[in-house]
Structure formats: C-alpha cells, structure tokens
C-alpha cells in the first residue's frame, strides 16, 4: 500500500485499495489499536476481583506479572519455532508468520 501512495493521481481522484491484503491490514491495525485496552481491562478486572476475594494487593499483581511472563515466553517460543524456522526440517514445515486471529486465541488461552 505504500507504493500506491507514491503514485501520481490526477486532482480530485481518490484511490481505494481492496481485496484480501487490504482486509488483513485493516484487521491487524484494528487489533493492534484495541489490544492495549483489552490487556488493561483484563488486568484491572482480575486485580479487582482477586483483591476482593483474597484481600491482598500483592497477590493479584504477582498473578498479572506471572501471566505476562508466561504469555511472553509462549509467544517467544512460537516465534522462534514457527517464524524463525528453528526445527522446520525436523517438524517438516515452512516458516511463516502466525495469523493475527491466532494471536488473539493464544492470548486468551495461554495464560490460564
């Protein structure tokens, strides 16, 4: 899409881009814009509920930190194996990016 921005257009002409690549880019952009809010909401709700349940502020903050470490290690291992391609010959696959919708599933399931 940056290439289309460099194209000279006559005045008054609006260029639109469509198709699967444009849809994927829009989906990824929307996901990345909302992800910090989702993470903040999950941490806030979890912290409040655990504080009300256990009466400790340290326990929910520690749980959030441990979840972040677990999620970070999960994403790091997935990147190392499937994107960087370590073990591709052993497992017989072609290294490629992870789909953005799978990242949402991983973030929802992995820390549990």
Q: What is the pLDDT of residues 9-36, one digit of tens each?
A: 788 888 888 888 888 888 888 888 888 8
HSE-up (13 A, CA, CB side) for residue 29: 6
Cβ–Cβ < 8 Å for 24, 100: yes
Q: Specify the pLDDT at position 111.
A: 59
* Alpha helices by DSSP H, the chain: 2-5, 20-54, 58-78, 88-91, 100-109
Q: Tell me if residue 79 falls in helix, strand or coil.
A: helix
Output the CA–CA distances (angstroms, integers) from residue 109 to 2, 71, 104, 105, 112, in the order listed: 35, 9, 9, 6, 6
| pLDDT for 2 beyond 70 | no
Q: What is the pLDDT of residues 47-89, one digit of tens each?
A: 899 999 999 999 998 988 888 898 888 889 989 998 899 988 8
CA distance 46 to 54: 12
Whole-model pTM: value is 0.64
Q: What is the mean predicted confidence (pLDDT) over 101-111?
A: 77
CA distance 48 to 44: 6
């Amino acid at each position: 899409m940056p290439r289309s921005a460099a194209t000279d257009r006559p005045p008054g002409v609006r260029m639109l881009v469509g198709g699967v690549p444009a849809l994927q880019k829009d989906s990824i952009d929307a996901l990345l814009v909302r992800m910090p809010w989702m993470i903040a909401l999950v941490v806030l709700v979890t912290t409040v509920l655990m504080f009300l349940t256990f009466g400790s502020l340290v326990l929910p903050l520690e749980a959030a930190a441990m979840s972040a470490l677990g999620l970070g290690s999960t994403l790091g291992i997935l990147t190392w194996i499937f994107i960087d391609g370590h073990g591709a010959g052993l497992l017989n696959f072609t290294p490629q990016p992870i789909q953005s919708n799978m990242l949402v599933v991983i973030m929802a399931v992995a820390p549990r």
